[in-house]
Amino acid sequence: MTIVQVRTSETPAAAEAAEPSEPRKRFRRERSSRPARTEPLPPLSPGTAAAIWAVTALGLLALWVVLYVLALSAIQAHRSQVELYATLRESLSGATAPTGGVIDPGTPVALLQAPRAGLTNTVVVEGTSSGDLMAGPGHLRSTALPGQPGVSVLFGRATLFGGPFGSVTKLHVTDAITVTTAQGTFTYVVRDIRRSGDEIPALAPSGSRLTLVTTEGSGWRSGWAPDHTVFVDADLKGTSVAAPSGRLAGVPLPEQALQGDPGALFALVLWLQALLLAAVAIVWGRARWGTWQTWLVGVPLVLAVLWGATYTAVQLLPNLM
């Protein structure tokens, strides 16, 4: 038996029908690479949208507060020191700097030098409230001025607004602290560094002592959240000068150690109202004026109001932070 193989050949029309054309191949490739169609997300409810905006706003506000207290406040304090230094130099050269009695809070009264503690041409202002210490170290108004008989107490922040007294604990016994006032330049020698509850060293009846007061932290709070008071006592090397009469017998609570200034609360409420009005104005301007025009004008306005509100709010915190 003979097997005959029959070879068939496709006609051109059949071959064209069996193999897709090039445009059809391209269409299939494009269709296969096209992502699957997804259903659109349902619109947010007004309550959900408001909650998202509120959380976002609170987060941005928290970031602003951290930026202000850790960075911008130091810049502000540096500018205040530059202005106070110029004012103090002018008053010292003109012999108009105060020497005692009742002095207006915020007035520059002394120039402090302690290189080991990072104090170089640091201006001391009168007053120790939280607002006074934003400009630099402050003199407790119920104590003598540096160089005069008795104890002269200076408060200084440890962290905020540049933390001018943040390194006073690095001072060693026998280190020198130099203070310049309208009555001359005085050199104090560090005698002791103590904490709350430690025994206060005795002072001679006619002696003069300078006490630097600040706060410090311990453990994981060290460096950013001081929680207890530290004192650096230094005795005058040389002879003290006479003190004019009229010194205050005491100071109000906001000027004492680790106290805030509740008087700033009313101003803070006004600043918050201004912030709310600025936010409403931005929303209105975006709808009536345009997006980029509104942000161009609104962002500086909001930052200015935020600066004022944060500056006022910080005054409610303890004055030695």
pLDDT digits (tens, 9 = 90+) for 234-244: 999 999 999 99
Question: Using 50, 70 and 90 to split pLDDT, how confident is the model at 254?
Answer: very high
* pLDDT tens readout for residues 39-51: 676 777 777 877 8
Bridge-partner residues for 177, per DSSP?
188
Of all residues in the chain, the percent with pLDDT exceeding 90 is 64
> Across residues 193-222, what is the average pLDDT?
87
Given this model, what pLDDT does residue 15 score? Answer: 47
Q: 209: Cβ–Cβ under 8 A, 6 or more apart, which residues?
A: 150, 151, 152, 188, 203, 233, 234, 235, 236
* Two structure tokens written together for 145: 């001025």
Q: How far is CA 208 from CA 106, 144, 202, 250, in A?
A: 24, 9, 11, 19
Given this model, what pLDDT does residue 217 score? Answer: 77
Report the mean per-residue pLDDT for the chain: 87
End-to-end Cα, the chain, rounded Å: 112
Given this model, what pLDDT does residue 167 score? Answer: 94
* Two structure tokens written together for 43: 């619109």
Q: What domains can be seen in the chain, in order of their start residue?
A: 74-255 (2.40.260.10)
Given this model, what pLDDT does residue 197 score? Answer: 87
* pLDDT tens readout for residues 67-124: 998 899 999 999 999 999 999 999 999 999 999 999 999 999 999 999 999 999 999 9
* Two structure tokens written together for 223: 């460096």
Residue 60: pLDDT over 60: yes
Given this model, what pLDDT does residue 218 score? Answer: 72
Given this model, what pLDDT does residue 55 score? Answer: 87
Of all residues in the chain, the percent with pLDDT exceeding 70 is 85
Given this model, what pLDDT does residue 46 score? Answer: 76
Winning range, highest mean pLDDT, from 12-21, 64-73, 135-144: 135-144
Q: What is the 3-state secondary structure (H, E, C) of the chain?
A: CCCCCCCCCCCHHHHHHHCCCHHHHHHHHHHHHCCCCCCCCCCCCHHHHHHHHHHHHHHHHHHHHHHHHHHHHHHHHHHHHHHHHHHHHHHHHCCCCCCCCCCCCCCEEEEEEEHHHCEEEEEEEECCCCCHHHCCCEECCCCCCCCCCEEEEEECCCCCCCCCCCCHHHCCCCCEEEEEECCEEEEEEEEEEEECCCCCCCCCCCCEEEEEEEEECCHHHCCCCCCEEEEEEEEECCCCCCCCCCCCCCCCHHHCCCCCCCCHHHHHHHHHHHHHHHHHHHHHHHHHCCHHHHHHHHHHHHHHHHHHHHHHHHCCCCCCC
Given this model, what pLDDT does residue 157 score? Answer: 95
Residue 3: pLDDT over 60: no
In the chain, the largest separation of any two C-alpha atoms, in whole Å, equals 144
* Two structure tokens written together for 255: 């000027």
Residue 2: pLDDT over 50: no
Given this model, what pLDDT does residue 35 score? Answer: 56
Question: Using 50, 70 and 90 to split pLDDT, how confident is the model at 4?
Answer: very low
The angle subtended at Cα 65 by Cα 64 and Cα 67, nearest 5°, is 65
Distance, CA of 246 to CA of 101 (rounded, Å): 4
**Could you tell me if 107 and 126 are in contact, meaning their C-beta atoms sit under 8 angstroms apart?**
yes
Question: Using 50, 70 and 90 to split pLDDT, how confident is the model at 196?
Answer: confident
Pairing state of beta strands 184-195 and 176-181?
A: antiparallel
Distance, CA of 153 to CA of 231 (rounded, Å): 10
Q: At what angle do helices 46-67 and 291-314 cross, to 10 degrees?
A: 60
Cβ neighbours, 10 Å, residue 127 = 23
Of the candidates 171, 150, 154, 168, the residue with the CA atom closest to the CA atom of residue 111? 154
> Across residues 142-158, what is the average pLDDT?
97
Range scoring the smallest mean pLDDT among 27-31, 205-209, 301-305: 27-31
* Two structure tokens written together for 290: 């345009």
> Across residues 173-188, what is the average pLDDT?
97
